């Protein structure tokens, strides 16, 4: 054996157990910590040594420093009292799938660089399509297929790029046409649509934010009018990003009406169901996907609400050729017989980066550990708890609902006005007992409570409501 600074297999066994135990302890104690980190800007950094170590340190020291230096700066997304932003829930099987993926350390950029990495991903994404009852076109057995992206932002970007290239394919001069392309989304859509339009080099003025109805869903007649007006002005409408469950208020754009408009005008329809798609595991919530058969692409995030740790966005495309033509660049050093045969998928052509981890492993672990029935149980329970919260708000003399709550996100506000709600949010989050965030709906400051973390049960939602009422009362009387 040569001189080595590597961790030996025996050390790996010992320290590996220590980290596993650390995580198990963490989950057992997570409710003890303030949910939102209470540190000030720069506070964590100030405690770290200025210079990197010249010589290696003991693993025990490093792990102790996680507890001592890092933990105070953690906002506890895995706390059952985390109701902010969106869930980013994880689970035992997901964590262990990620661990195994890190251990195997394979690159899945080409089929040949680890055939199992590609084939398990294709297979599990077909499973997921079946579990959510997605249209047949999205299956790998048809013209389409699924791929794991890091995030819905990247999925939206890939959809936009495929749509852009499809729109320009038979046109010239491309340069002029590119600047006349017009994309559409609602005023309530995620910021990733605007970011994708910018990245793709389209004219930022050519992204239309279509008005919404009183449920904050896109108004299809407004879309149709705007498309017609743009065409009349000599522009080239090409892309619509619709949302199933907006980040702001969980609004569901009406695909059955938007879809035919897209077909009529040959617009690419992308559907972003980042959080809410998971609800379609349960037949009674599949109404959210009505009209999805019109979509050219679709994504949802098991890393939000399906117990799979970030990053794991499932992105489906109806015609995989559209995506590959937009993203494939083949240098000599990546050529190989399997790819040239055309018999395999090379996922590097389905995404922005070249390299990729074996992310299908954790999704496979999650589906097999829970089974469809187990996943349905927990998703139903989260929705039930949110709906119970809805009733509490409705029954309260001081609070009101701010938007429909079809699933697990509740938008509500105290009747005392914007400034009061802002102070209420701040006081609640500073208490450390729960964490929730806000949005603005119809110009009014609105609190958001999402039920979706793995360990969130009735007691946590009840305690949150109690804390909200008590804090409001205390602010009013102070």
- Of residues 189 through 228, those in contact with a second copy by CB under 8 A are 190-192, 194-195, 198-203
Q: Indicate which single residue of 222, 324, 334, 416 sits in contact with a second copy (rule: CB under 8 A).
A: 334
Minimum CB separation of residue 260 from a second copy in Å reads 29
Residues 292-331 touching a second copy, rule: CB under 8 A, are 303, 309-311, 326-327, 329-331
Q: Indicate which single residue of 355, 415, 442, 466 sits in contact with a second copy (rule: CB under 8 A).
A: 355
Q: Nearer Cβ to a second copy, position 454 or 467? A: 454
User: Interface with a second copy includes 36 (CB under 8 A)?
Assistant: yes
Q: Indicate which single residue of 116, 142, 235, 416 sits in contact with a second copy (rule: CB under 8 A).
A: 116
Draw the binding track, 153-172, toward a second copy (x: CB under 8 A; -: no contact). xx--x---x--x--------
Closest by CA to 347, choosing from 158, 195, 169, 216, is 158
User: Interface with a second copy includes 289 (CB under 8 A)?
Assistant: no
User: Interface with a second copy includes 440 (CB under 8 A)?
Assistant: yes
User: Interface with a second copy includes 241 (CB under 8 A)?
Assistant: no
User: Interface with a second copy includes 15 (CB under 8 A)?
Assistant: yes
Draw the binding track, 359-388, toward a second copy (x: CB under 8 A; -: no contact). --x--xx-xxxxxxxxx-xx--x-------
Q: Indicate which single residue of 31, 44, 257, 463 sits in contact with a second copy (rule: CB under 8 A).
A: 44
Q: What is the layout of strands, in order, in the sheet containing 313-317?
A: 145-149, 313-317, 297-300, 268-272, 236-243, 181-186, 207-210
User: Interface with a second copy includes 417 (CB under 8 A)?
Assistant: no
Q: Indicate which single residue of 387, 396, 431, 454 sits in contact with a second copy (rule: CB under 8 A).
A: 454
User: Interface with a second copy includes 420 (CB under 8 A)?
Assistant: no
Q: Nearer Cβ to a second copy, position 180 or 319? A: 180
User: Interface with a second copy includes 92 (CB under 8 A)?
Assistant: yes
Minimum CB separation of residue 398 from a second copy in Å reads 23
């Amino acid at each position: 054996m040569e001189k080595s600074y590597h961790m030996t297999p025996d050390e790996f066994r010992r320290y590996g157990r220590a980290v596993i135990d650390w995580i198990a302890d963490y989950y057992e104690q997570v409710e003890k910590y303030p949910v939102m980190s209470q540190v000030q800007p720069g506070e964590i950094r100030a405690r770290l040594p200025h210079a990197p170590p010249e010589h290696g340190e003991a693993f025990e020291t490093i792990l102790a420093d996680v507890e001592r230096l890092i933990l105070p700066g953690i906002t506890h997304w895995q706390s059952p009292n985390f109701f902010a932003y969106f869930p980013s829930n994880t689970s035992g099987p997901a964590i262990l799938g990620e661990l195994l993926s890190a251990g195997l350390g394979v690159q899945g950029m080409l089929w040949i660089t680890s055939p199992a990495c590609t084939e398990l991903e294709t297979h599990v994404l077909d499973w997921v399509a079946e579990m959510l009852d997605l249209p047949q076109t999205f299956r790998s057995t048809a013209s389409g297929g699924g791929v794991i992206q890091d995030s819905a932002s990247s999925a939206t970007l890939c959809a936009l790029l495929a749509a852009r290239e499809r729109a320009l394919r038979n046109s010239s001069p491309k340069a002029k046409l590119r600047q006349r392309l017009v994309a559409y989304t609602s005023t309530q859509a995620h910021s990733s649509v605007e970011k994708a339009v910018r990245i793709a080099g389209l004219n930022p003025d050519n992204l239309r934010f279509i008005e919404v109805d009183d449920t904050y869903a896109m108004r299809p007649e407004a879309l149709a009018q705007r498309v017609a007006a743009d065409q009349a002005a000599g522009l080239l409408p090409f892309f619509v990003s619709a949302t199933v469950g907006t980040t702001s208020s969980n609004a569901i754009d009406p695909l059955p009406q938007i879809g035919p408009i897209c077909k009529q005008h040959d617009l690419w329809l992308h559907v972003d169901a980042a959080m809410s798609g998971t609800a379609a595991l349960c037949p009674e919530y599949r109404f959210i996907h009505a009209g999805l058969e019109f979509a050219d692409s679709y994504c949802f995030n098991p890393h939000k609400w399906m117990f799979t740790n970030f990053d794991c966005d499932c992105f489906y495309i109806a015609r995989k050729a559209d995506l590959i033509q937009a993203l494939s660049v083949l240098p000599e050093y990546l050529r190989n017989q399997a790819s040239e045969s055309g018999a395999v998928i090379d996922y590097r052509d389905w995404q922005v980066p070249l390299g990729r981890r074996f992310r299908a492993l954790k999704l496979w672990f999650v589906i097999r550990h829970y089974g469809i029935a187990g996943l349905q149980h927990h998703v139903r329970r989260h929705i039930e708890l949110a709906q119970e919260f809805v009733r509490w708000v409705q029954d309260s003399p001081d609070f009101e609902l701010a938007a429909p709550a079809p699933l697990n996100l509740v938008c509500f506000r105290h009747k005392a006005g914007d400034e009061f709600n802002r102070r209420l949010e701040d006081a609640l989050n500073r208490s450390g007992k729960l964490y929730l965030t806000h949005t603005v709906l119809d110009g009014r400051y609105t609190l958001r409570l999402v039920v979706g973390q793995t360990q969130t049960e009735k007691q946590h939602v009840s305690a949150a409501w109690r804390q909200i009422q008590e804090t409001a009362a205390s602010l009013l009387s102070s």
